[in-house]
A and B are shown apart, each in its own frame.
Chain A
């Protein structure tokens, strides 16, 4: 850009304060350094989360490597026999993988309908005041630490189940699923409510204007429009359930078995997270057992990472869709 300053223009006008508008070279340099170095520094600090994720993957996989190298991965994933401390140790994680899936699905069967209905209630039905009362309930449910839920499962729920239904043990898949569904509820509700309330008033008004009842409006217009967000909510709730450790460790009974018949929730199961938590304390560092638990951790990581990508996809597509409307 040309810098034409005529004498006439260069004359200062106001008497108040005459600061030069031109940077001195020193100021220029300082500004340049400040700007770029500062930015770089901030960027580096910000990328600490990237570094953290990288380190997590790197170190967990590194500790799992000896196991992955020496053992048959297919067997790890398909064998039901988990005898890590036997003379001829067997590492078959299938029953744990099934256990995780089992309690997760069972908990979602309860949590998803209740969560979505509650989200609909909060966003569409109830007045602002009641909403302000219910919100803290959800927040407290989310804030209660998992170990407290586990405590409840072991000392309150388990004896109750045992006495009420005559189960052989109160710490079983049903117990764990009930607690997990309580824990997944807040996640599902808040994400689902977000996506339901971002569906604009216009759509709702259009539907009401055509004579639809509230039920019809919600089921035919609002929920279909918000479906991506709701799917993301379900997946996030699922991630919470799969990744949960203390509750399943305390409440599931920790028997490495696949329930038979498959619908029998009253049997004990063991999940991947619980087996890591329970057995890591007893392993010798550097033993096959130790590495195998890290391998289980890698499996969990991969699972969660995949679910995360899927939920991200749905959240982004929800945003895009609603953004266009």
Chain B
């Protein structure tokens, strides 16, 4: 997708025009939508904070090499669900789960899950850019080093590849030794994406990756996501419906911890099957 289109789209706030564009984009691949095997699959999945349910009874699948957006009003559990996929929610004390959640066919909430491998395969990009207070190089090399890559040249290569993949290489190639915290917000977020890519995941979870960024940086990230989708399964949680419409092939609508509707982005925005969804996407709610 050419950058200019993205920028034009970023300016547009009219849903219909956005949807029509995304329709063009997705219609060609519509035939392959249902024939692929899901990478992530939830079966009656519920997540509880103490006794309060964060998400309830979710059943859905995410397909490879495509972008799936999760939208919904604040506090609807979309982030909770996303963060359950690579079990980063384990950090929060006093939580429990019900149901199953499969990644590559393995139930991640099984006792014998190799968390390290899971998190390497399911990369995550967080709401706020969160580079480590280390140099750019060390940030990217962090994951590969954990995997046991020791040779300097190999690390160099990985860092370069990841930064190129995250479209950051040109901007930072001369300052790899500089602290990552010296970068701008948008660069930091792309660095975080590069860092996630460096562990060679097959799935990327993005938790509102653009919410802390300005429109131009957002455009760049969206551009990047568009390019990455050919290689990765991307799940993105977003507040912005325009963004969901612009970049995703499928969209899920969450409300109050429940999955209301899930389908191709075009369907969700054009002919929502449920009243709640329609209210939300047309802006009458939330």
Contacts and interface: CB of A to CB of B under 8 A. Distances in A.
Interface in B95-151: 100, 102-114, 117-118, 120-121
Contacts of B185: none
A133 interface: no
B114 A20 contact: yes
A211 interface: no
Interface string B72-113: 000000000000000000000000000010111111111111
Given A13-B64, A14-B202, A21 B100 contact: no
**Contact size range, A:** 20 to 34
Most buried by B among A2, A21, A22, A28: A21
Interface in A1-57: 1-6, 8-17, 19-23, 27-28
A6 B41 CA distance: 12
A13 B41 CA distance: 13
B34 to A, nearest CB: 13
B269 interface: no
B202 A13 contact: yes
B221 to A, nearest CB: 21
Contacts of B233: 13-14
B38 A9 contact: yes
Contacts of A15: 202
Given A9-B37, A11-B37, A17 B107 contact: no
> Interface majority SS on A: helix, strand, loop or mixed?
loop
Most buried by A among B106, B109, B120, B203: B106
B102 A9 contact: yes
B201 interface: yes
Nearest to A10: B105
Contacts of A23: 112-114
B107 A1 contact: yes
A17 B114 contact: no
B7 interface: no
Contacts of B38: 9
Contacts of B120: 17, 19
B39 interface: yes
B200 A17 contact: yes
B254 interface: no
B105 A1 contact: no
B197 to A, nearest CB: 9
B232 A14 contact: yes
A73 to B, nearest CB: 48
B112 A19 contact: no
Most buried by B among A3, A11, A13, A17: A13
Contacts of B100: 1-2, 4
Interface in B23-44: 37-39, 41
A9 B233 CA distance: 15
B196 to A, nearest CB: 12
Contacts of A16: 200-202, 231
A147 to B, nearest CB: 40
Contacts of B111: 1
A11 B111 CA distance: 21
Nearest to A14: B202
A22 B120 CA distance: 13
Given A21-B114, A21-B121, A3 B107 contact: yes
Contacts of B39: 13-14
Contacts of B64: 13-14
Contacts of A20: 114, 117
Contacts of A5: 102, 105-107
A149 B113 CA distance: 61
Contacts of B200: 16-17
A21 B117 contact: yes
A321 to B, nearest CB: 24
Contacts of A19: 114, 117, 120-121
B106 A22 contact: yes
A21 B116 CA distance: 9
A10 B105 CA distance: 4
A10 B201 CA distance: 17
B112 A12 contact: no
Contacts of B104: 9-10, 12-13, 21
Contacts of B108: 21
15 contacts: A1-B100, A1-B107, A3-B107, A4-B100, A4-B107, A10-B105, A13-B104, A13-B233, A14-B121, A14-B203, A14-B231, A19-B114, A19-B121, A21-B103, A21-B118
Q: Pick the 6 closest A-B CB pairs, nearest first.
A: A14-B202, A9-B105, A19-B117, A10-B105, A21-B106, A16-B200
Given A14-B39, A21-B104, 9 more contacts: A4-B100, A5-B106, A6-B105, A10-B105, A13-B39, A14-B201, A14-B233, A17-B200, A21-B108
